[in-house]
Chain A
Amino acid sequence: MELAEAIILSVLAASTPLLIAATGELVTERSGVLNLGVEGMMIVGAACGFGGAWLTGSIFLGALCGMAAGTLLSLIFAMMTLALAVNQVATGLALTILGVGLSGLIGAGFVGERITTAPHLRIPGLTDIPLVGRILFGEDAFVYLSLALIVAVWWFLYHTRGGLILRACGDNHVSAHALGYPVLRIRMFAVMFGGACAGLAGAYLPLAYTPFFIPGMTAGRGWIALALVVFASWLPARLVVGAYLFGAVTILQLHAQGAGIGIPSQFMSALPYLATVIVLVLLSRARTGGSTAPAALGTVFVPDR
């Protein structure tokens, strides 16, 4: 049982950056914008997050720096795709390349330094409950924040007028515009939210996961976050499941090795990606008429005047 608890804790930690980044991208895509630059925003968030924390000594300020960095980068994306009506796929890819390069330049000065990682919650009595104590009451702020975030997003999308309008922009931007809603401005805010989340998710890595910055430390998590959004059919509840599932596969393959289960490690490493493809296919099949993406996702919108 102790092993099960330990595995769950590892999975929680591994899944958190995926969940945060995917939440942001979910909002962005529900508004109709496809931002492929998540990896770039995440890694810039990691560099700035670590730098901020190291310079100020505060994890909180570091997290803010990471969020700010992600948001700024996403603004470039917003300007290109919303103001200049540029192709979203190309812009997103350019953003990733730019982000990776920038993070290397910014982070170069911080390599080799270390900070104290984010503290874990400790409630005497509650945290010590066997099995669930540490899972429920012993995590760091990022884990709780990630869950609070997705719940807040769910509430926003489905129980507020603002969320309804945002979804309308994603499903049919022409009608939304005709109704008088400022489609581009709403999308801009959605993109910025996505950037902030990606930056925060990236900052989580050096602030809570491994307390140092190394160039390239996101190791493709941004792309996995993108896959997660589709995996989840753009539904918040499914996103949580997907994030933890993905984290679980990554962690379990390591445990399987340690336990001596002799499947080639490459196959185990490939499982999360194969699983995503299979689930994508199955989900799309289950609905008649194909995918359930926001209908206007990725299309350029230039308001008629």
Chain B
Amino acid sequence: MSTDVDTVAQPTRRPTEQPAIEGRSLSKVYGLGDRQAARALAADDPAAAVAAAGGYLGAADVSFSIGTGEMFVVMGLSGSGKSTVLRMINRLNEPTAGELLIDGEDITKVSDSRLREIRNSRIGMVFQHFSLFPHRTVRDNAAYGLKVRGVGRAERRERADAALQRVGLGDRGDKLPHELSGGMRQRVGLARALAVDPPVLLMDEPFSALDPLIRRDMQDLLLELQAEDRRTTVFVTHDLNEAMRIGDQVMVMRQGRVVQCAPGAEIVAHPADEYVSEFVADVDRARVLTAYDLQRPAKLVFTVDERPDAALRRLGDNEAQGAYVLGQDERLLGVVTDAALLAAVNRGDADLSASVSQDFHTVEPTAHIGDFMHRAGRQVVPVTVVDARGRLSGVVPRATILSSLSTAPAQERERDERPLEVAARA
């Protein structure tokens, strides 16, 4: 992000102390023996070397760090390596090189029995095609992880039913999976993962096999559960809207490499390259971009003790009809219009306090464009962004909103272009 953001907390980013999951230079080579793969990876251009040896580079030098309780989305087209990365976390795919730390423990080095223990007690997984056990009831499916753990029948039943309750299937325990609809089946998949109450949840395109309405329901359910549990979750998807909707951090991958890793709104506002901007071209920006992402500094700001005639002159110089007025403590008092200033000059006021009006619309920095775009252009000043302490954060002109909603990369923010008026505040 740009540097002038210290006063406003970035809305989607959560501070992370010790990472819950950390990937260090993970690579995955398919179709080659260990030694051959190691040699190919050591080459200057690993992808070409692996391809020349007859293999396929699924993930190349992927590093990431996921904070406890974070919803980390891995996004990319098919074949971009996103599932490969996810499946390296519980070693369904064995990493060819690199380290993967879960709470500081490098799971690429643990024994088979310890790996099974980690898979069972620390990691829950939800699959794209649900992968329920068709011969077991919904309850037995949900209880599977507990059964592997050796939990007794009664407790297993109780905890499985509790998990099913949470996903809204409390009354379906005795059904078989084929008796449920797709959305319900994935709820069972989610319950199966939740029943073991793992600190980490892996979700491999869990909703992409569902139709859009059900998908939205499932996202809501996940967000609801996440609000209660704050579980560290790695979520793979190819749907950018989904990524933006649920992700705290989004990692965009292409051809096995990380292209960009940032909060969703930043990816939309500042795509790292052509690939990402093409990717974000069809995202529903109104639901992703916030006032904070679009705001620019207000061009014309008066302080309350300024003289009305001087203020009116500056208003005229700027060909504006209104401007903001700040109090002594930099809090936003309101706006003045040219008509109000003229009246104040005629009255012979010494300052602007009598001329301030509240005829403008304010939004918080975290507000989405979709929530306020209809207000733009109604008043003499643009939509006004005000932070939690009542200070003027910036403005969002209507032209900025419109251009941000077009598919071109957002170029509208020219933060460096600071008007002199701001610096002239008393």
- Co-complex (A, B): no
